[in-house]
Amino acid sequence: MATCGEVLVKLLEAYGVEQVFGIPGVHTVELYRGLARSSIHHVTPRHEQGAGFMADGYARTRGKPAVCFIITGPGMTNITTAMGQAYADSIPMLVISSVQSRSQLGGGRGKLHELPDQRALVAGVAAFSHTLMSAAELPSVLARAFAVFQAGRPRPVHIEIPLDVLVENADALLSSQPVNIARPGAAPAAIEQMSLRLIEAKRPLILAGGGAVDAAGALLQLAEHLGAPVALTINAKGMLPSSHPLLIGSTQTLAATRALVAEADVVLAIGTELAETDYDVTFAGGFEIPGALLRIDIDPDQTVRNYPPTLALVADAQLAAEALLARLSTQVLPERLADWGAERAGRLNMQLAATWDAPTRAQTHFLQTVFEVLPQAVCVGDSTQPVYTGNLTFNPEHPRRWFNSSTGYGTLGYALPAAIGAWLGRCVDGQPAGPVLCLIGDGGLQFTLPELASAVEARTPIIVLLWNNQGYGEIKKYMLNRGIEPVGVDIYTPDLIGAAKALGCTALAVEGEAQLRAALASAVDRQGPTVIEIDEQHWQQTFAL
């Protein structure tokens, strides 16, 4: 007899799932009955939040969802923070949990791991949450989940399976096949209307978000054809190479960039929420789009949020960008204003470079040094000062190479487990495609420090760049800037190098650029994780040029 849990694993394989993150418990062992016989790889985190962050990092580099096996009750409360981060950034993640037997649901009888309503708990951080009331429902519910991942706005999906359903006879489902759904194409009438607006534009500009990363090639050609400056959100970094003359980076929080956006007579916004953490100085307001706004998004609701559009199109970003390019590439465009396009973008970039203060220059030099040594690296960031700096000043050469938790939901401790998942996501047929960096502060690392043991166990040679400022430096600066006497930010910082070694990592502190370069070069050749500690004060005193 094949149980529901065993058939679940077979169906996940059929949908192309390659990775599961989970901590086996008494309520999830039936999910594992068929896992050892499958092709799916399993990693055990040290906390369910780590499982969710690992799945998040995996999805961002792999471009497809990972799965988390999570126990009832505390397992689900633990993973909700990671689901919140993935929900905010539109990252696919399938969370499969157990739940009390059908006759016990909502009973309040004090059962092990009991919650009054587990689905209600996670509903706010999931595209949907479903209780599987019989094994027969399994194929259709999985089809719904993968419909979200394949053809909609990808976000976490939660499926909970009662303990008695997990062991139910599911022989009849062994022949079930996956359902694959194509993403929606671009309506020709909408493409024609948008094309006419872009043809007539004197000062076009493109705002691209993380939902458009797969459209990078078409958007690059479109920007060059239009002569349009391109602003990217944090999750869209790398869609244009760093040296491209039309790139104005991710500097929309700054007054000079806002002035350029305000000059544009037509703005094409594709795959972006146009939300606070992408375009606003946090809690301050002031980002305006006075020109005609053309919005393209996979989510109908999102096309009218925050900034109402002149024209809107619900479509896959890549298909829409390709359709616009096909329509416009044969069109001879009227002459643009002489000082627009690359010239205007270049003036802005020079203006911004002249405004960076000493800490920003020092942290930018740090990032440039790292990527000179490891040009193919992916950098997974936490909420820490050089990450905030890099969001403004650093531009990778390719998409999916720079992402972090400092925007959107804004969790601490994300970078370490997410880097583990990102490294696994970059492997093709078991072979790594390049190094993965975890850029994290000493405060953030203490949130998820035990996941270093997971990295050792999983043999993921991530490189942890530990930016040590002896506390919550970014929040301390924020308090001081607002005239608040700092409280709770100068925390005790343990010997993190010693802790990393105790957890099985290679760990060392570096004091200057030469030591950093040597440490990075050595770390690439190791089979396990390396922690490299950088003292913030020493680095900034040395490189505040």
Domains in the chain, ordered, with CATH? 4-173 (3.40.50.970), 188-351 (3.40.50.1220), 358-543 (3.40.50.970)
Lowest mean pLDDT among 14-23, 161-170, 241-250, 443-452: 161-170
Inter-axis angle of helices 513-523 and 358-373, nearest 10: 40
Give DSSP secondary structure letters for 59-118: HHHHSS-EEEEE-TTHHHHHHHHHHHHHHHTT--EEEEEEE--GGGTT--S--TT--S-H
The residue that leads in pLDDT, 104 or 126, is 126
Confidence of residue 335 (pLDDT cuts 50, 70, 90): confident
pLDDT of residue 301: 93
Mean pLDDT, residues 337-356? 92
Q: Reply yes or no on whether the pLDDT at 373 is more than 80.
A: yes
pLDDT, position 175: 87
Confidence of residue 543 (pLDDT cuts 50, 70, 90): low
Supply the pLDDT for residue 171.
86
Of 237, 278, 256, 246, give the one whose Cα is nearest residue 352: 256
Q: Return the pLDDT at 501.
A: 97
List, in sequence order, the alpha helices (H) in 212-356: 216-226, 255-263, 276-279, 317-329, 342-353
Predicted confidence at residue 545, as pLDDT, reads 52
539 pLDDT tier (thresholds 50, 70, 90): confident
Q: Which pLDDT score, from 0 to 100, does residue 339 have?
A: 87
pLDDT, tens digit, 9 for 90 and up, residues 243-252: 999 999 999 9
pLDDT at 281: 61
pLDDT in tens, 59-97: 999 999 999 999 999 999 999 999 999 999 999 999 999
Contact in structure between 406 and 438 (CB atoms under 8 Å): no
pLDDT bucket at 240, cuts 50 / 70 / 90: very high
Count how many Cα atoms sit within 13 Å of the Cα of residue 284 in the half-sphere of its side chain. Answer: 13
pLDDT at 393 over 70: yes
How would you classify residue 176: left for phi > 0, otherwise alpha for psi between -120 and 50, otherwise beta? beta
The pLDDT of residue 1 is 87
Query: Has residue 544 got a pLDDT over 60?
Result: no
pLDDT at 536 over 60: yes
**Residue 528, class by beta-carbon neighbours within 10 Å (0-12 exposed, 13-18 middle, 19+ buried)?**
middle
The answer to whether residue 422 scores a pLDDT higher than 90 is yes
**What pLDDT score does 277 carry?**
77
Q: What is the pLDDT of residue 427?
A: 87
- Range from 155-169, 246-260, 443-457, 475-489 carrying the lowest mean pLDDT: 475-489
Q: By C-alpha distance, which of 93, 13, 18, 101 is closest to 53?
A: 93
pLDDT of residue 485: 92
| Spatial distance between the Cα atoms of 66 and 20, rounded to a whole number of angstroms | 6
Task: Let me know: does 198 contact 268? Beta carbons within 8 Å.
Answer: yes
Long-range contacts of 279-286 (CB under 8 A, 24+ apart): 279/207, 279/233, 279/252, 279/253, 280/252, 280/253, 281/253, 286/258
Report the mean per-residue pLDDT for the chain.
92
Q: Which two tokens stand for residue 412?
A: 């601490």
Q: What's the pLDDT tens digit per position in 286-303? A: 789 999 999 999 999 999
Of 317, 350, 322, 325, the closest CA to residue 245 belongs to 350
What is the value of pTM for the model shown? Answer: 0.94
pLDDT of amino acid 330: 84
